[in-house]
Chains A and B, each alone.
Chain A
């Protein structure tokens, strides 16, 4: 057995199957929960089924879809960009920046900034500031390499984490609790307008990343490899970093950091599909979406009415699954 060639037929089939699973999940997952509901009563507008379905569960599943999809694609991208199998959407500091912003807002007691919740606005600003800080540190004139990007990213990451620890240490008990809750990450039911706004920012970026899949293939091999094939590596690294950080920052501002999705989904799919980003990126998006939505469903039901942070579930469910996958595939693929 080897790695199958990527053809248009295989691309559409893989994407269609993955998208089909997402659709199926969209119908099934909202039904699961402590309160029993059914679609007939919900669509007939009967209370409380309609409220639970349309204002609690569906928005939450949709946010999990978006967050899981985006984090998985960003993980795939950063692994290629840095040629580092252990890279995640958070490696380059953007989520620590978002967290620092959120933590600042919580500890300062800000409620609203320009009409939107202060924690979101502050987290997004934090992500944006870190993004440009890393960029400024990493680029030397117009040139940029994966290596300097990685160093700048992890340095800024550490500084942000240190600031978060400091603020948390200085905060009072109540704020400290809120900070910890935010840092654990989690999916909440948000308004449809918020979801639409997030989708408008992230989905075109994801499509753009998929369209450049052949270039990520080149970069995953090496910078000279890409440059010698007419694709200037430093520009590509810049574009990839900006796009990946933009989507990660937007999502993290709403959900807080959710680990493991961006690491495990790309790797599991590489074992199935090979490393070609034309298959890997769309598949990562859909599988990441279903994975996080499923984990979130478990997180809100398994100890109901207590909710477990979804990041705990992603690692607890994803870890053993990945170990199983690794062991069963190891013989057929060279590892």
Chain B
């Protein structure tokens, strides 16, 4: 628990947001990750919906490099496209609201 608290107090600030005050497409990822570490699944989703697809893609990439699945590259590609779509849609929704 203390490690999560330490992480929460040492978040990296987004240089773009500190300059302009407008969110960038990656803003909220660290807060969302900390909520995920605490086990608050839905709060993590509402803070940054694209974190879970991105994490899935990344972890699947590591497993694919280790075990070399047959259709791993294709699955990776589609999950990447899905994660990108979620990033874009959530960013547009965040900007327009």
A binds B: no
- Report which B residues bind A (CB closer than 8 A): none
A residues at B contact (CB < 8 Å): none
